[in-house]
Amino acid sequence: MPNAIALKVLIVDDQNSVRQMTRMTLEEIGIRHIHEAENGQQAMETAAVQPLDLIISDFNMPEMDGLGLLRAVRGHPVARKVPFILLTGRGDRELVVKAAQAGVNNYLIKPFTAAILRQKIEQVMGKLS
């Protein structure tokens, strides 16, 4: 049973306002160690050097989208096993299928509440204490 307060999470989203909202929602769940990245490049730089317990990434980003980031993470010697949750918009079924093939752990539809976020995280990490 992982302790929420000990979890280290990376949020990836090119929209600052959305990133901050996601941060606030994570904090509502009790998560405190939160890294942020604006794009896939920054995310990979963080993932390569920081120990991470979870990556939550938006799909819709320029240059490298969430799926591309997922594949990069899964191919990276240091970060490959980090659990990955992909944020998608309504109606993105195809994306979820592709993401599953690429090794995603879970997905989350925007907008989401703290309760749903918690549920999705627990589906991957186990019940949070």
Partner 1 sequence: MASLEQLKLTFFDECSELLQQTETGLTDIKNGQNTDEAVNAVFRAVHSVKGGAGIFGFEALVEFAHVFETVLDAVRRGSLTASPDVIDVLLAASDVLSDLVQMSRSGEAIVPGFGSECRTALEHLMARDKAGDAASQAESAAPADFEGIEFTPVRADQFDGTPANADGIRTYQITFRPKPELLKKANEPLYIVRELRKLGELDMVAATDELPALAELEFDRPYIGWTGTLRTTAAREQVDEVFEFVVGDCELGIEELADTNSATLVEVPQSPPLAIEESPAVTAAAEKPVGSSAPGGTANTALSAANPGQAPAAKPAATTTRIELEKIDRVVNMVGELVISQAMLGQIVNDLPEGTSNRLARIVEEVVHHTRELKDSVMSMRAQPVGSVFQRMPRLVRELATKTSKKVRLEMSGETTEVDRSIIERLGDPLTHIIRNAVDHGIEAPADRLTAGKNEEGAIRLAAEHRGGRIIIEISDDGAGINSERVLKKAQEKGLVGADAVLSDDEINNLIMLPGFSTAEKISDISGRGVGMDVVRSNIQDIGGRISLKSERGRGMTIQLALPLTLAVMDGMVIKVAQETYVVAMSAIVECLRPARSDINSLIGTRGMLKLRGDLVPLVSLGDLLDLNSTANESDDCVVIITEAGDGKRFGLVLDELCGHQQVVIKSIEESYGSVPGIAAATILGNGRVAFILDVEKLSDLAASASPNVAIAAKKAFAAKVAIN
What residue ranges bind partner 1 (CB under 8 A)?
Answer: 14-18, 20-21, 24, 39-42, 44-45, 48-49, 53-54, 58, 60-64, 68, 71-72, 74-78, 80-81, 83, 89-91, 93, 96-97, 100-107, 109-111, 120, 123-126
Q: Which is nearer to partner 1, 6 or 80 (CB)?
A: 80
Helix, strand or coil, per DSSP, at residue 108: strand
Closest by CA position to 110, among listed 35, 13, 29 = 13
Q: Which is nearer to partner 1, 3 or 16 (CB)?
A: 16
Residue 117 has phi, psi (to 5 degrees) of -60, -45
Tell me the closest approach of the beta carbon of residue 107 to partner 1, in angstroms: 7
Tell me the closest approach of the beta carbon of residue 92 to partner 1, in angstroms: 8
Q: What distance in Å separates the CA atoms of residue 39 and residue 14, rounded to the nearest whole number?
A: 6
Tell me the closest approach of the beta carbon of residue 47 to partner 1, in angstroms: 10
Residue 105 has phi, psi (to 5 degrees) of -90, -35
Q: Which is nearer to partner 1, 35 or 110 (CB)?
A: 110
Contact 47, 78 (CB under 8 A): yes
Tell me the closest approach of the beta carbon of residue 50 to partner 1, in angstroms: 9
Q: Which is nearer to partner 1, 6 or 100 (CB)?
A: 100
Q: What distance in Å separates the CA atoms of residue 7 and residue 128, rounded to the nearest whole number?
A: 10
The pairing of beta strand 33-37 with beta strand 84-88:
unpaired
